[in-house]
């Protein structure tokens, strides 16, 4: 078993709206993170619902640090458009796996590859720099509240 932690949580009210940091968020199976654009069915790709891989997205803080160091791209956690920034857990290894974030149970669905929409909202080069390390799309299996600082446990 490996463990990591939640560094930050971000949600946006509507598509392309700035992400805002929250200390905690309720995770609801089949819906997503309460108050987030995809929970509200107002995300850029909401027309593809129901889609369990839109329920929550995660990215590693270590990837954001590498992005700055190797590519000169300073991307704040919220600017990544991912909901949960983690520390100490290799997210790519969680595709197809169940894991816990605090009391909430998730299943890794697929990598959260960067797209043109992210690049339009941030800066040129982000797609190339984040390819295969842009995070994880996950499905919520067990409802609960996720808090900044919660442990992330994999088995």
What DSSP string runs through 37-51? TTTTT-STTGGG-S-
> Which residue, among 77, 76, 67, has the nearest Cα to 9 in the 3D structure?
77
Q: Could you tell me the fold of the domain covering 2-154?
A: M1 Pyruvate Kinase; Domain 3 (2.40.33)
Partners of 153 in the beta sheet? 3, 100
Query: What are the distances in angstroms from CA 49 to CA 132, 137, 138?
Result: 24, 14, 14
Q: How much is the pLDDT for 146?
A: 98
Q: Which residue has the higher pLDDT, 136 or 132?
A: 136
Beta strands at 56-60 and 84-87: parallel, antiparallel or unpaired:
parallel
Q: Which of 15-19, 70-74, 122-126, 135-139 has the weakest average pLDDT?
A: 122-126
With bands split at pLDDT 50, 70 and 90, how would you rate the model's confidence at 140? Answer: very high
Claim: this prediction has a pTM higher than 0.85: yes
Quick one: average pLDDT of 87-113? 95
On average, the pLDDT of the chain sits at 85
Quick one: average pLDDT of 119-144? 79
d(C-alpha 8, C-alpha 55), whole Å: 17
CA atoms within 13 A on the CB side of 140: 26
Q: How much is the pLDDT for 141?
A: 98
For the chain, what are the domain ranges? 2-154
Q: How much is the pLDDT for 45?
A: 47
Number of CB atoms found within 10 A of residue 3's CB: 12
């Amino acid at each position: 078993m490996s463990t990591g932690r939640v560094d930050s949580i971000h949600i946006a009210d509507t598509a392309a709206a700035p992400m805002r940091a929250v200390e905690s968020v309720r995770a609801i199976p089949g819906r997503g993170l309460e108050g987030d654009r995809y929970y509200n069915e107002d995300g850029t790709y909401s027309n593809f619902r129901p889609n369990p891989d839109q329920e929550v997205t995660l990215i590693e803080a270590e990837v954001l640090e590498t992005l700055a160091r190797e590519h000169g791209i300073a991307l704040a956690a919220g600017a990544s458009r991912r909901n949960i920034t983690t520390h100490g857990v290799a997210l790519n290894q969680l595709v197809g796996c169940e894991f816990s974030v605090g009391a909430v149970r998730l299943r890794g669905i697929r990598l959260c590859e960067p797209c043109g929409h992210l690049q339009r909202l941030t800066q040129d080069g982000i797609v190339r720099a984040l390819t295969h390390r842009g995070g994880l799309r996950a499905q919520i299996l067990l409802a609960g509240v996720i808090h900044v600082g919660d442990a992330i446990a994999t088995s």
